[in-house]
A and B are shown apart, each in its own frame.
Chain A
């Protein structure tokens, strides 16, 4: 079974609108972490936001927020007020187990977001 599932291969949004990118995960660990990365066309991986499984509040970083629904095992990324520069691939990733200095990440297959003027 896929540990990280991103069911939207592509999403379109107009500039200034909000968009939600879906991510569901599968783990039997009680302690885990969820990450979102952005990959623009230039190819680098840019960290966006992190949610720990014991964090009671949804993570937020500027225009990015993570809608964490633990019972449903979902960790959707919400981008508010989309900008043209948000056009990129977005990857959801999970660390299983406690947050130690070493962690193996499992990535989803990504969602390509296109922001139109």
Chain B
């Protein structure tokens, strides 16, 4: 079981370029999440998908779009990258573990926008 996988691991973009961050899970979880982590600010929720076919905005959605392609995959798209989007991006899934719901994180994508 791979758990939660993210591609790519690293990416450098120029301002104005677009890209899609991919996330896939084999945990059969319904909910999926995208977070960004900036120095000194912890993780902040960008978008989430409570179940296949639904998506909704989190705390910092501006400049991003998402697609829940199927139960396994949840992608994050930057249409026109800006330096302020330089960050580490984490995908997570939510599911039961030990009697309570927990989030399981992917390894992260480090994005630099020049």
At the interface, yes or no: B51 with Cβ under 8 Å from chain A? yes
How many angstroms between the C-alpha atoms of A106 and B43 in the bound complex? 8
Stretch of A14-22, A39-47, A76-84 at the chain-chain interface: A39-47
A104 to B45, Cβ gap below 8 A?
A: yes
* In the assembled complex, B107 has its CB within 8 A of some CB on chain A: yes
For A, the interface residue count at a CB cutoff of 8 angstroms equals 25
B25 within 8 A of A: no
- Say yes or no: A43 contacts B58, CB within 8 Å: no
How far apart are the CA atoms of A10 and B51 in the complex, in Å? 38
Q: How far is the CB of A26 from chain B (nearest CB, A)?
A: 15
Q: Do B42 and A101 touch (CB < 8 A)? A: no
Q: Report the minimal beta-carbon distance from B30 to chain A, rounded to whole angstroms.
A: 5
Of residues 37 to 93 in B, which have CB atoms within 8 Å of A's CB atoms? 40-45, 48, 50-51, 58-59, 88, 90, 92
A100 at interface, CB cutoff 8 A: yes
Q: In the complex, what residue of chain A is closest to B29 when comparing beta carbons?
A: A101
Instruction: Please state if B95 and A101 are interface contacts (CB–CB under 8 Å).
Output: yes
Contact B108–A50 (Cβ < 8 Å): no
Q: Using A50-B100, A52-B100, A109-B41 as known contacts, say yes or no to A103 and B105 having CB atoms under 8 A apart.
A: no
- What does the 1/0 interface line of A96-117 toward B look like (CB < 8 Å)? 0001111111111110000000
* Residue ID in chain B nearest A39 by CB atoms: B37
Q: Does B103 contact A (CB under 8 A)?
A: yes
6 nearest CB pairs, A to B: A107-B42, A45-B105, A102-B50, A102-B31, A107-B43, A109-B42
Having A104-B58, A107-B44, one finds 9 other A-B pairs with CB under 8 Å, namely A35-B102, A45-B90, A45-B92, A45-B108, A52-B100, A101-B30, A101-B31, A101-B94, A102-B48
Please report B residues at the A interface, Cβ cutoff 8 Å: 29-31, 33, 35, 40-45, 48, 50-51, 58-59, 88, 90, 92, 94-96, 98, 100-105, 107-108, 110
